[in-house]
Structure 1
Amino acid sequence: MMKLLSFKITSDHLLLCVFLNLLWGVAESNISSTATVTDSKATTTPSLTATSPLTTSPMTTSTMTTSTMTTSPMTTSTTTTLPTTKPPPDNVKNVTVLRQNVSSITLKWDKVNNISTYILQYNDSGSTKNENISATPQETSVEYVVSALTAGTKYVFTLITVFEGVNSTGHTFTAVTAPRDTEVFKSVGQSETSITLQWKKVDNILKYALKFNGVTREINVTATTGDNLMNHTISNLTSATEYNFTLFAEFENVRSSGVYHIAATVPENVKLVTVTQTVNSITLTWDKVKEISTYILRYGDSDLPVKGNSSKSHQNESVTYVVAPLTAGKKYNFTLITVFEGLNSTGHQFTAVTVPPMVSSVNVTERSVTSLTLKWENLEKNWNYLLQINDSYVTVTPDVPPNVVSHPVTHLKPGTEYPFRVITMFSGLNSTAYEDFTVTAIDCASVSWRVTNSTIQGTVEGIFSNATASNRQTHVSTGGNNVLFTGLYPGATYEVLLAYERNSKRFEQCRQNLTIFPPSLRAHCEYSEAGYSIMIAWNKPEGVWTEVEVNVTGQTHFANEGEQYIKISGFQPAKTYEVSVDSLSGTVRSYEPFVFLCSTDPRGVIAGAVVAVVLFVVLVCVAVFILFKRPGLMRKKPFIGASKLSDKNDKTISVAKFPDHFSQLSADDNRGFSQEYENLVPVGTEQTRKTAILPENKARNRFNNVLPYDWCRVRLTTSNSNVTSDYINASYMPGYNSNREYIATQGPLPSTVGDFWRMIWEQKAKRIVMVTNCVEGGRTKCEQYWPADNKPCLYGEVLVTTRSEQKELSWTLREFRVKHTNYSEERTVKHFHFTAWPDHGVPQGTKVLIQFRGLVRWHIEREGTGAPTVVHCSAGVGRTGTIIALDVLLQQLDKKRAVGINSFVHKMRLYRPYMVQTESQYIFLHHCIMDSLQPDENIYENADMIYVNATALRELR
């Protein structure tokens, strides 16, 4: 209980008492007081209100009432009465924070017993704030906005209910203002599946919320202390997609209003680009990337970068773009970039090339009988060329640094037109082909020209369109390949020119000077010097001649041009001599000599007769003496050795007489050939073959009756301990220059291939001539004894490698590298394989075999004849003998202008049995010689009427 006090205040102490009374009242009783002071001079009524409640107890409040009484003008009497205590109103039950922003907090609470007066206390920036709140009586709740606050700040509020001057104890709660939004929010990096965002921290707030694609995804991000800028990467996104981002700063679970940013992911690269090229453009086609229609294509080369941007929009699912103009035959580096919302993909890189240009021109710089040289300009070092000529292809790589390509083409046929195509190649692309043609030259010297004293005639193999013979006048041949010039001046030298013209092009095929036969002379003789000399005289013929040749008694005498007689001494009187007179133009003599008999003057005949009688008597006496002293000497037969020929078999036929000889043998269905061939059958058969028939050697023979003679068989060395036999079915054969120019052998068996290569190595052979196929008519004629490819193959102790193989229509040329395992030396062996000889009989014509023989002979002459040439077919006698005989006989024909076919076949059979095995082969040899003499005639063709002598022998070929 409070005490009720009563006191009197005088005028002198009025102010002090009032001040103390008031101070006391406030301090002690939490009393709101009003004091009225009356002065005799003036009346003052100060009003003091204490706004800070003073609580005396939780449940009571004291109220003091003061009464003022005026007793007189100078005195005032004041009486204070303390009433009974009131309880404080209830506190607000709950305060709801409706809204928060950076500068205000909106609060809401229900009225307390419909009280409308409230006081809100809080501290802001170090000062205490009191805000009186009055609500309307009609409202059941109070909504109040606390403004002018600091963003991102936590406030402690006390809400006091005020009723009739009495305050509640106060409801204390906290609330925060929303933080500010960041001032910087941007994307700093994008890829196909991620976006990196960057923002500036807000008042060192560490918590942020990131929403994107509306509210479908939200990420809470906690920043680190220290750095002012915050980076955050969002992964697992979809390429080429635009995202809407909202960034909230978060303070005490209250977020800022949020800042917005739009960013997109980088688009994917194009997966595949299809390239189509021309000479000056490249067409690119690719599938769209997620319906994106904007692309950037960058391209250029290392020498001069070319930057080009191009975009293309299409409604289709693919994009096609033509890059032009470009340089032909160049390589370009491209980068194709996909563009989406201003973002570029990393770029799809690829290369493409333009088609190389066609060669502008091709020149034939060298042209021979069997080779050509083509030349063209090369504009780019990285280009290659494909040369097609006569169905064969070769890749030509230019030399560096020359800008001109020069390529030789060899092994061609003489006088043949060759179309050719040159294609530029670059990085798998080919240019349009440059097409043209050329022709190989003709070897005029190889033509068998038949010359008379007024004509030149010859059959020329090869292409040409006109032929002329020029001296003072030009003569033209109109006979096609059968060239004929008539009306020529005897003994004159003509330049024969063959040319080929087509498509305004002219090719000189061959040029040769030919001197035709000088005029024939009509001569006679006259007496001179009593028969001891003669004088040969002749008339001056029409034509050109440089000398006159007179042959008599085996001596030759010459008269110069312009002379019309010659005097020759050294004869006997009353004798008749055969005189031959020829005219010569250079080295060419008249077609036939003029032959006549010349009788000397008979005045010295007596002396000559006496001498003759004396000589006759002497010869008779000598003969009688020999007959009586050595009668057996006259009966002894001459001996024919194994390798010697009798005089009878040395017979040769001159070129002039051979056509008649051939005609005689061909008469009556080749009766002469048959007789000659039958006489050859027993030749050499009496010679021994002991080694060949030994039991250990029988398996090494392909045929039991084709065995080498002991005296001329090839012997293998047996120095190696692994070798026990020196036997191989092979024989040395004579040639034109020696008796060991060839080795005739059988085609190797599977068991003798090693022996065959052993023989090649030991004999140092450089050439092998094969005139059979490995399989003919379904039967094996010869084991293949060389590698089927370029890989080395070991045969016994000899390692063989095929270095090259060139196939022609009728033969194949190979070159082998040969090495013995016991030596470091390597050798080259050429293989001439004639493939056009039929299983039975002879080739269909002589031409191809003569050409083949010429090829082999050319290599023999070039490489030397120091080592024998190995020749084989199946048995090593029929076709082998024919090709050896043809080679020797053509040499004989060329050097002696005569040929002895029968005598040479006879000689070969003394070295190996059955050489030139059949009569048809024997006849074929004669046809080869005949056609070599008469190349303009139809080439001999094998006829069905030519029979094979013995069926058993046929199997040996």
Structure 2
Amino acid sequence: MASGNSAVPALTDLSSSQNPRNISVNEKSSDSVWTKPLPVSRLCVAFKGEAGVVLTWEIGNGTTACRILLEDKGSHKESDQNLTVNIPDLKPGCTYEAQCASESEETRTGSAAGGDSPGATGTGGTAGTCTVSKCQHGPNEQPSDSSPTNKTGVRLRGLKSGTWYKATVYSQTEDGTEGQPTATEFRTDSFRVLDLEAANISATSLTLTWKMYDNGSCLPYTYNINVVWDTGFFNFTVNKTQTALTELSPNTLYNITVHASFQDGSEGTPGFLQVYTRPGPVSDLRVTVISTRSIGLAWSSKDSDSFKILTRQDKAGIPRTERTNQSSISIGDLYPGTEYCFEVFPVGRNGTEGDSQSICSMTGASGVRDIRVVHVATAEIRLEWQSTDNASDYIYYLYLSSVHGANQTHNSSHRAFAFRGLTPGTLYNITIVPEVKGVPGHPGSILQYTRPSNVSDVEVSTNTTTAAFHWRNSDDASPTYTYRLVIEREGDSGNATEVVTGVGITGATVPDLMPGSGYTVQIFARVGEVTESLGPGWQSFCTDPAPVASFQCEVVPKTPTLVLRWACPPGTSTGFQVEVSRGDWRNETYLEGCPPEEAGAEYWTEVTHLNFSTSYDINITALSCNKTAPPTQNSCITSITDPPPPDGSPNITSVSHNSVKVKFSGFEASHGPIKAYALILTTGEANPSTEVLNRTYEDFKKGASPTYVTYFITTGENASSEGLSEALKYEINVGNESNTHGYYNGKLEPLGSYRACVAGFTNITFGTDGLLIDGNRSYVSFSRYSEAVFLPQDPGVICGAVFGCIFGALAIVAVGGFIFWRKKRKDAKHNDLPFSQIKPKKSKLIRVENFEAYFKKQQADSNCGFAEEYEDLKLVGINQPKYAAELAENRGKNRYNNVLPYDISRVRLSVHTHSADDYINANYMPGYHSKKEFIATQGPLPNTLKDFWRMVWEKNVYAVVMLTKCVEQGRTKCEEYWPSKQAKDYGSITVAMTSEIVLPEWTIRDFTVKNNLTSDSHPLRQFHFTSWPDHGVPDTTDLLINFRYLVRDYMKQSPPESPVLVHCSAGVGRTGTFIAIDRLIYQMENENAVDVYGIVYDLRMHRPLMVQTEDQYVFLNQCVLDIVRSQRDSKVDLIYQNTTAMTIYENLAPVATLGQINGHIA
């Protein structure tokens, strides 16, 4: 170091020397100065691990110490993470151990590590130090005097794992002068073996290769190989990253571990591998068995238990693979006469395959197979066949024979041949014998008919549903032919009808065709089971159209129009001809027809521009295929309307102070017969209108109306009646105090001014009281008012006043008496009469318009009125005799002892062998149209099933209504009397179910009922209502109403004399309710009135306990009320209106338009 003198001589470059130099200057002073040492060289990372590293470098002369600065490259707080290593007394050839710790670690101590080192002060503050131990031998070799080295190193321990460090080494002289730094970077991590793999694996050897992870060391690695198997092991060391293992055992699992290590013995993470050697090839491969379809193989193997065999045909093609755990195998499904080659591979325990051994062999020869007739004509048979042997030098000998002689023999080198010159419709026996190299194989045979000739001269005759066919065939073999007829309807070829005739029959009749439809018939001649003529005999034809069954005429109120309605006839109708005539007048109209799928659907049309109230003759003819059906005829009368008003007005004559006479002529009857006249008087000026028709003399007297009806005349009254003159001339005495249909012809007011008018009626309707005219619902016209007439003063005014007073007093007395009489009558009605039983009434007829008020009255006080009515019905009919039901031999036929049929109405069956054979617990029940419209019966018992079906057959029943489940609340209510899957015999009656439709509230089943004694049969439909509890009522009235319409729609198709058989369990409660609602609906439709009480009364006179509970009786009244309300409110969802209920069942006939039942859309 220089002194503090100001004179500083120039110095030469001394950096090349690392020894102290003596420097002389002119002035009188001297000192020792150290130059900077040379930096270290060849700094490298000799080893690195998870928490340590070995650094090595070389030093120059004069370097006696060094300082190492370790910087953590991953930390942002550099001063906190740096480490300093001071190595004093540096000796070349030594490796020092340094244990490091950072300031943040718990191992940090208060004093600096390495107390033996010089004061370790460097540039920048250090946060951590490393403790340096004594020198050890270098990493390359042991130090010796003979081989001096400048290489020095340090092993740094205690570093952070997986961290990037920068190591900077400063060389130092004895006085601590530092040279230029030398730096390197590294990342602490374990060195390990990666990607250890085995290649070139054979039965006895393999090659190992691997990689070293981040081999940043400047020193070489050595690799220790450890090989272990189930019976031994061996180890060896290599210096490269690959090696070969030899002299291994076949089909053996080897566990191989490779360790990398330094010369100092430290090891990194090893690599590990398991590998199987391949099995050795099989030996002694041989063929053991040969047949036409298989070859047997066998072999030997010392080290394999599993084998794969590849089979190739003629050493080429895609191989077939077989596997076995045996040392032999039979390879099947081979072709005869064909060479096959086989490769056998041993398979190791891990699926590794060894080298294969091969062998070839040929299968034996065989005969023909799969003889096929590829073409047959009337005189030719063409054959093809297959050979199980693919050899090309086969010759095939063909022999043909028939029962008629004419044998043929041929040979061919091909597997196809055609025999020609044969006879149509003849059976031939054909034999094929294969031969190869003079050795015949197994022969094959086939029987084949030649085709018959086509039929000719096809003739067809038809009616609406049947076609008869006749044809000819001229073949010699035709007596042995049958014929297949295929009949297809135009536009529906997918549903062809096929008919096969008997042998030799050249005619057929085909029924069940669709009327009015075009068809094509094809007739094939057939011999044997399947051989038919190549072409059919062909003919087109058309069935006759079905006529319209009937049609109804409906008038349009107040319109000269007729609405014609009819059901579309079955089959196809391309159009309808409607002819309307009256005398010499005639009009024809052509309408569009019905497609087949709408058969049974309603068809309607309007005939307009007719005359009112006129009878017309109408013919409707169905048309199809240029054919006409027989016309359907009917006579219809058009509607009436308001009569034409007369041109004149009535005449008033013979005027007195309180009366007049009115004369008028009858109205013209061109709009309908005149039913009545009403004479109207007015003191006002307004024109007449329908509102005045319900005005009476009393209204006039009270001042409520200046106009009133004073006299009413029906045209059927005798001409000599009071107030009438001649037949078409009418004279009315007004004021004579007569009464006509609720109208009082009171005296007129003296000095009054009156005008007269006449109302003429073609249809007259009275109001709810049945007395006064309802003008809005009547067909009426009015004449003009007459001229006004003025009445003179009454000459006896005083007498008139007295008379008026007397009349008023009498009226008051009459009114008071009437009120007193009404009160006494009401009081008497509520008095109890326990001492005398009143005979019940038979009828309580209520008009429809009054029923709602009647229902509310009877419903009051918890249905008190209905309860009284039902109580009156309890004893109805109970005294009628029941002798047949009480006979000892018949008691077991009754389900309940208290429900026995009355003798007067019981259903009697035919007697077979015993007088009691005629008994069944059933009664005829009256309907609206017939006294025997229904049969009410109990649910059949096991011992009455035959009697039940005998009754169905003998009484011609087409519909059965079942209102109970077979089991209710765990008790049997009715035996299941019908078959479910297969037909079943019930005595001489066989019943078969043909369809079943299950809906939430009911089930519809169709049956065919056949009498085995006569072979006659007819259809039967069962309507099974499943939502009606015993002794209860359905949830809603519309359920039963809809169900009733469903049954009635079906009965329209049944014979009119066929009764509906109804049953529940006892055949009284639910059964009676159903029959009653049917009668009530008809009564409402036809009479505009309803009699619930009377209908139940009538039913109980025919079978006991009909409508069994009060709830059922109230339910009937509720049904009527709901129907009344629905008609009044024009609600069509409660009951069916002009809708065929059965149309929801698309698989049941007839099918018309779609409808709705109880919310279930079809």
TM-score (norm 2): 0.37
Larger Rg: 1 or 2? 1
